Amino acid sequence: MKVLVIGGGAREHALCRSLSLDPDVNALYCAPGNAGIAEVAELRPVDALDGAAVAGLATELGADLVVIGPEAPLVAGVADAVRAAGIPVFGPSAEAAQLEGSKAFAKDVMAAAGVPTARSYVCTTPEEVEAALDAFGAPYVVKDDGLAAGKGVVVTGDLDAAREHALACDRVVIEEYLDGPEVSLFAITDGTTVLPLQPAQDFKRALDGDEGPNTGGMGAYSPLPWADPKLVDEVLETVLQPTVDELRHRGTPFSGLLYAGLAITSRGVRVIEFNARFGDPETQVVLARLRTPLAGLLLNAAQGTLESQPPLAWREEAAVTVVIASHNYPGTPRTGDPIEGLAEVAAEDGPDTYVLHAGTRHEGGAVVSAGGRVLSVTATGSDLAQAREKAYKAVARIRLEGSHHRTDIAAKAAGTA
Ligand code: AMP
Ligand code: GLY
């Protein structure tokens, strides 16, 4: 099978790594990719937001499957363009991707499907904003309606800060605060059949102890030893299947990866958000544990034949990933700094510890930073404590001036905090 992956972050590196290990894959391309992905796939330049260009590239390569990583191309209709060219594509249509592209659309689908989520108001005027903030009280949850790479959400006890963010958005969703731990649960779906993956937990805040601003995610781990073993079945029944059914009934079936961001509250499971693609950095730990070959699974989803997919197989090992971010991330990051220590990790740390690249590129003979999140250092181990130790040992070998990372990824779950 020839596979083309669209994107160039650590999630796409994790996807390409798994696809490169799949014996059914005999050619693997990534566009545009990054310096790390170049080690496992052949890179092609492409404007990932240009559907005609992506479809053209897939045709030229004779791809049997196109996998679209990030949300922006999905929302821009790139999957539709590839599908129209007659090539199977893993990723939803632009219409179905509105589940991620518009928080207001997602709320509407959830209401229609009876999916539990935070109560919310969609506001477009200062008066509506004021009334909604007043109705829910602190802590305030204020979300920009459009795509914002995880950074359009402000959760704060400060009324002025909440008001300021709300007024800076054209259309804003203001909602009830959900307490309790967060879980990211991914499901592969072809629009009818839904196959949940193993749950993971992300660390959204920039600093240790869940302090600092929201980011795209600073680290993740899986499995979740503290979670109810029935959680996945419950979420399949109350969230994933009803959402997929609702979108199919609307005539906009969702095929691809349905990501449920959940809060496990004292009153039960609630959806915080949906995403229309694999999460980053959670994908790094979920795929590290998935034993089932990835290409056939994604192709089954793309072709509407997921019903024939054998049950998924998982490794017993635990996985942890730690994100190394540029100076000033999640603000405007500094880029172009050389990254050192990658060869040491590869030489010293064994096959279960590896560095997935997010924002990196080659410059001369060096690998330099090229984005906010730069690397996602991933390790598997017999349990979370061991996976964590291995990941942090590798993090310590990496030198990137001004960079920062959290030191407490999976610490609580591993029982080491
Ligand atoms: P989102 O982009 O909707 O996932 O929001 C980003 C982060 O903000 C989430 O992962 C949560 O940590 C936090 N958040 C979003 N909505 C809520 C809510 N209703 N209650 C509490 N925290 C929230
Ligand atoms: N890790 C959060 C996301 O992918 O949206």
In a domain, 110, yes or no: no
**CATH label of the domain that carries residue 272:** 3.30.470.20
How many other C-beta atoms can be found within 10 angstroms of the C-beta atom of residue 123?
Answer: 22
Domain membership flag for residue 26: yes
- Shared-domain flag, residues 131 and 148: yes
Residue 114's pLDDT is 97
* Tens-place pLDDT, residues 142-195: 998 876 655 688 899 999 999 999 998 888 999 999 999 999 999 999 999 999
Between the CA of 204 and the centroid of ligand 1 the distance, in Å, is 9
CATH number of the domain that residue 390 is part of: 3.90.600.10
272 CA to centre of ligand 1 in angstroms = 6
For 91-103, give one letter per residue: b (16+ CB within 10 A) or e: bbbbbbbbbbbbb
- Gap from CA of 401 to ligand 2 centroid (Å): 25
Q: Are residues 206 and 291 both part of a single domain? A: yes
CA-closest candidate to residue 186, choices 117, 110, 279, 97: 279
Other CB atoms within 10 A of residue 74 CB:
30
- Residue 217 beta carbon below 6 angstroms from any ligand 2 atom: yes
Nearest ligand, measured from the Cα of 139: 1
Say if residue 45 is in the same domain as residue 147. Answer: no
Same domain, 132 and 82: no
The residue segments making up the domain with residue 163 are 121-175
In angstroms, rounded to a whole number, what is the distance separating the alpha carbons of residues 192 and 255? 8
Q: 310 CA to middle of ligand 1, Å?
A: 34
212 alpha carbon to ligand 1 midpoint, in Å? 14
The residue count of the chain comes to 417
pLDDT at residue 191, as a whole number: 98
Tokens of 1: 């099978």
Ligand 1 pocket, residues with Cβ under 6 angstroms: 118, 141, 143, 150, 153, 155, 175-178, 182, 204, 214, 261, 272-273
Amino acid identity, position 370: A
Q: Could you say which ligand is closest to the alpha carbon of residue 107?
A: 1
Give the model's pLDDT for residue 150.
Answer: 54
Pocket perturbation via mutation, ligand 1, pick of 259, 264, 273 by most ligand atoms within 8 A of CB: 273
**Count of domains observed in the chain:** 4
214 CB near ligand 2 (under 6 Å): no
Please state, in angstroms and rounded to a whole number, the distance separating the CA atoms of residues 375 and 34: 11
Identify whether 301 is part of a domain: yes
Of all protein residues, the one whose alpha carbon is nearest to atom 5 of ligand 2 is: 279
Asked whether the beta carbons of 25 and 17 are under 8 A apart, the reply is no
| Residue where a domain terminates, one of 175, 191, 210 | 175
97 lies in a domain?
A: no
| Co-location of 241 and 210 in the same domain | yes
- 58 and 154 in one domain? no
For residues 362 and 391, state if they share a domain.
yes
Q: Are 100 and 37 in contact (CB under 8 A)?
A: no
> Identity (one letter) of the amino acid at 364?
G
Note the pLDDT of residue 408. Answer: 98
Q: How many CB atoms lie within 10 A of CB 384?
A: 25
- Please report whether residue 104 resides in a domain: no
Q: Which residues contact 334 (CB under 8 A, 6 or more apart)?
A: 326, 327, 328, 369, 402
The two three-digit tokens of residue 353, written as one number: 């510890």
Rounded Cα–Cα distance for residues 381 and 353 (Å): 9
Below-50 pLDDT ranges, the chain: none
Q: For ligand 1, atom 5, name the residue with the nearest CA.
A: 153
Give CA–CA dist 410/323, Å, rounded.
12
Taking the centre of ligand 1 as the mean of its atom positions, its distance from the CA of residue 48, in whole angstroms, is: 27
Give, as one character, the DSSP assignment of residue 237: I
Kindly state whether residues 8 and 56 are assigned to the same domain. Answer: yes
- Is the distance from the beta carbon of residue 150 to the nearest atom of ligand 2 less than 6 Å? yes
132, two tokens: 């909604």
Which of 74, 103, 184, when mutated, tests ligand 2's pocket best, judged by the most ligand atoms within 8 Å of its CB? 184
pLDDT at 151: 60
Q: Is 280 a pocket residue for ligand 2 (Cβ < 6 Å)? A: yes
Residue 313 lies in a domain: no
The answer to whether position 66 is within a domain reads yes
Domain identity same for 271 and 347? no
pLDDT score of 146: 72
CATH at 157: 3.30.1490.20
Statement to judge: residues 67 and 144 lie in one domain: no
402 alpha carbon – ligand 2 mean position (Å): 24
pLDDT at 148: 63
Q: Which atom of ligand 1 is nearest to the CA of 205?
A: 12
Asked whether residue 281 falls in the same domain as residue 162, the answer is no
